Structure 1
Amino acid sequence: MLPPAPKIFHGRNFELHKVIELLTQYSPRVAILGPGGIGKTSLAQIALHHEDVVAKYPERYFVPCHSSLTSSDLISTISSHIGFQSAKGLQHILNYFACSKPTLLVLDNFETLWEPASTRMDTEEFLSQLAGVPQLAMLITMRGAEHPQKTRWTRPFLQPLTPLSNAAALQVFVDIAEDQHELSKVQQLLDITGNLPLAVNLMANVVAHEGCDQTLSRWNKENTHLLSDGYDQRSSLDISIMLSYSSPRMTCGAKELLSLLSMLPDGLSDADLVQSKLPLENILSCKLSLVQVSLAYVDNTKHLKCLVPIGKYIQRVHPPSSN
C-alpha cells in the first residue's frame, strides 16, 4: 500500500520537475537531500504518484527506514513491503527485482542506517547491490547534503532542498489556517518559521486553533517548544532538529560553531572564520560538518548561516559558552 500524495504541496514545482526528469531516465538512482523538516518525504510521495512515473513503473514501493537500524532490518522491511510471507535474504530480494517489471523503490529517511559509522559500510554495500539491478529505479530521501558512496548516482544531482519561497510558505499557511488572519501578523509568524515547511505546517496548525495573537504570545514564552507537541520528527520541530544535532558527524567544534551562528543572523564568511580567534580547532572542518548534516548552509553571499528555527532551538538548548 503506497502512502497518498500530500494534499498540501506548494513551491516545489522546479524540484518536482527535476525529480521526474531523473526518474524517467534509464535505471535512475536519485537522492533527495536537505535538512530535517524541509519536505523531502513530501516531494518523494508527490513524485511517486506523478503520471509519468506511474506510466514508467508498473511496480512502486515506498519503504520507511526510520525503524531500521541495520541493513538486515531494512531487508526484512523491504520483504514485508514486497509481500513476502516471511523475511527473505538480500539475494532473494535482488532476484525478485531482477525478474520483475520496471520497479521504483523509494527508501525514506535513509540516514537512519547511513549515519552511524558502525553500519555505514554495510549500508553502502547493500545500496550498491540494489543499484546493480538495472530495472530497479531507486529514490532515497536523506538528511544532510552527502550522497552515500559505492553507488553511481544519476546526474545531474538534485540540489539539497531549501526553504520555501515567501509566497509558497504563505499558501501552505493559508491552506491550513485559512485566510481570515491579519496578513502582517501571519508574516511575523512565517518569519519565525524561516519558511521551513515543517515549521510552517506546525505553526499554521497552532494558529488554526488559537489565532495569531495567542500564538505570537506563546512563541515569545515557549520558543520552539510551541511547535514540538508531536511524538516524532514529522510532528515535533525539536525532535527533528535534535536528530540532526545528534549525528555522529557533529564534532564538539561543530556544535560550538553552530551555537555561535545561532546568535548571528547575518552569518559568517570564510574570512570571518579564519580570522576569528575562536577556540576551535580546524574551524573550516567544523563548517563542513554543519553543512554536511544540513544544520547550516552557505547563502549566495558565501556566508555560513543557520535557518531561523534551528537558531532559536540552539539558543535555547545549546547557547554559546562563555569562552
Structure 2
Amino acid sequence: MLPPAPKIFHGRDFELQEVIALLTQDSPRVAILGPGGIGKTSLAQIALHHKDVVTKYPERYFVPCHSTLTTSDLISTISSHIGFESAKGLQHILHYFACSKPSLLVLDNFETLWEPASTRLEVEEFLSQLTGVPQLAVLITMRGAEHPQKTRWTRPFLQPLTPLSNAAAWQVFVDITEDQHELSKVQQLLDITGNLPLAISLMANVVAYEGCDQTLSRWNKENTHLLSDGYDQRSNLDISIMLSYSSPRMTCGAKELLSLLSMLPDGLSDADLVQSKLPLENILSCKSTLVQVSLAYIDNTKHLKCLVPIRQYIQRLHPPS
C-alpha cells in the first residue's frame, strides 16, 4: 500500500516540477535532501502520486527506512513491500526488479542507514547495486546536504529544501486552523517556526485548540518543548532536531560552533570564523559539518546561519559554555 498524497501541501511547486522532470528521465536516481522537518517526505509522496509518474511507473513502492539499522533490515523491509512471503536476499530483489515493469522505489529517511560510519560503505554498495537495475527508478529522501557515493545521481542535482515562503507558510497554517485569527499574532507564531513545515504544522495544531494568545504564552514558557508532544521525528520537533544533533559526524567542535550560532540570528561569515578567537580546532571543518548534517546553512550573503527552531532548541538544551 502506498501512503496517500498529503492533503496540505503548499509552496513547493517549483521543487515538485524539478522532481517530476528528473523522475521522467530514463533510469533516474534522485535524492531529496534538507534538514529534518523541511518536507522531504511530503514532496516525495506528492511526486509518487503525480500523473506523469503514475503513467511512467506501473509499479511504485514507498519504503520507510527510519527503523532500518542495517542493510539486512532494509532487504527484509523491501522484500515485504514488494510482496515476498519471506525475506529474500539482495539478488532476489535485483532479479525481481530486473524482470518487472518499470518501477519506482522510494527509500524514505535513508540517512538512518547511511549516517553511521561503520555501515556507510556497505550501505553505499547496496545502493549502487540497486541503482544498477536500468528499469528501476530510485528516489531517496535524506537529512543533510550530501549524496551517498557509488551511485551515479541524475543531473541536475536537487538543491536541499529550504523553508517555505511567507505566503505558503501562512496557507499551511490557515489550512490547519482557520482564517479567523489576529494577523499580527499569527505572524508572530510563524516567525517562531522559521517557516519550517514541521514546526508550522505542530504550531497550527496547538493554535487550533488553544488559540493564538495561549499558544504564544506557552511558547514563552516552554519554547520548542511546546511542539514536542509526539513520539517520533514527524510529530515532535525536539526529536527531529535531536536526530541531526546526534549524528556521528557531529564533533565537539561542531557542537560548540552550533551553540554559538544559536545566539546569533544574523549568523557568521567565513571572515568572522577565521578571525574569531574561538578555542575551536579546524573551525571551517566544523562549519562544513554543520552544513552537511543540515543544522546550519549558508544564506545568500554567505553567512552561516541556523533556522529559528534549531536556534531555539540549542539555546534551551545546549547553550554556549
Q: Which bracket does the TM-score occupy, shorter chain normalised?
A: over 0.9
Q: How far does the alpha carbon of each residue in 1:244-272 deviate from its partner, in whole angstroms, 9 at most, with x for none?
A: 00001111000000000000000000000
Structure 1 residue 170: deviation in Å?
0.2
Q: Separation in 1 of the partners of 2:315 and 2:125?
A: 39
The 4+ residue runs of structure 1 with deviation greater than 6 A are: none
SS at match of 2:30: strand
Q: Separation in 1 of the partners of 2:86 and 2:71?
A: 16
Structure 1 residue 40: deviation in Å?
0.1
Structure 1 residue 216: deviation in Å?
0.1
| Identical-pair percentage | 91
Q: How far does the alpha carbon of each residue in 1:136-182 deviate from its partner, in whole angstroms, 9 at most, with x for none?
A: 00000000000000000000000000000000000000000111000
Q: Separation in 1 of the partners of 2:53 and 2:80?
A: 23
Question: What aligned pairs does 1:254-269 form with structure 2 within 5 A after superposition?
Answer: 254-269=254-269
Q: Separation in 1 of the partners of 2:296 and 2:142?
A: 16
Structure 1 residue 112: deviation in Å?
0.3
Q: Separation in 2 of the partners of 1:71 and 1:183?
A: 49
Q: Separation in 2 of the partners of 1:94 and 1:296?
A: 37
Q: Count how many residue pairs are aligned between Structure 1 and Structure 2.
A: 321
Q: Separation in 1 of the partners of 2:173 and 2:144?
A: 26
Structure 1 residue 100: deviation in Å?
0.3
Structure 1 residue 313: deviation in Å?
0.2
SS at match of 1:93: helix
Provide structure 2 residue ranges, at least 5 long, that are not aligned to the other structure.
none
- Please tell me whether residue 64 in structure 1 is matched to residue 64 in structure 2: yes
Provide structure 1 residue ranges, at least 5 long, that are not aligned to the other structure.
none
Q: Separation in 1 of the partners of 2:181 and 2:192?
A: 16
Q: How far does the alpha carbon of each residue in 1:213-264 deviate from its partner, in whole angstroms, 9 at most, with x for none?
A: 0000000000000000000000000000000000011110000000000000
Structure 1 residue 297: deviation in Å?
0.2
Q: Separation in 1 of the partners of 2:101 and 2:272?
A: 55
Q: How far does the alpha carbon of each residue in 1:266-300 deviate from its partner, in whole angstroms, 9 at most, with x for none?
A: 00000000000000000000000000000000000
Q: How far does the alpha carbon of each residue in 1:77-107 deviate from its partner, in whole angstroms, 9 at most, with x for none?
A: 0000000000000000000000000000000
Q: How far does the alpha carbon of each residue in 1:181-218 deviate from its partner, in whole angstroms, 9 at most, with x for none?
A: 00100000000000000000000000000000000000
Q: Separation in 2 of the partners of 1:188 and 1:269?
A: 27
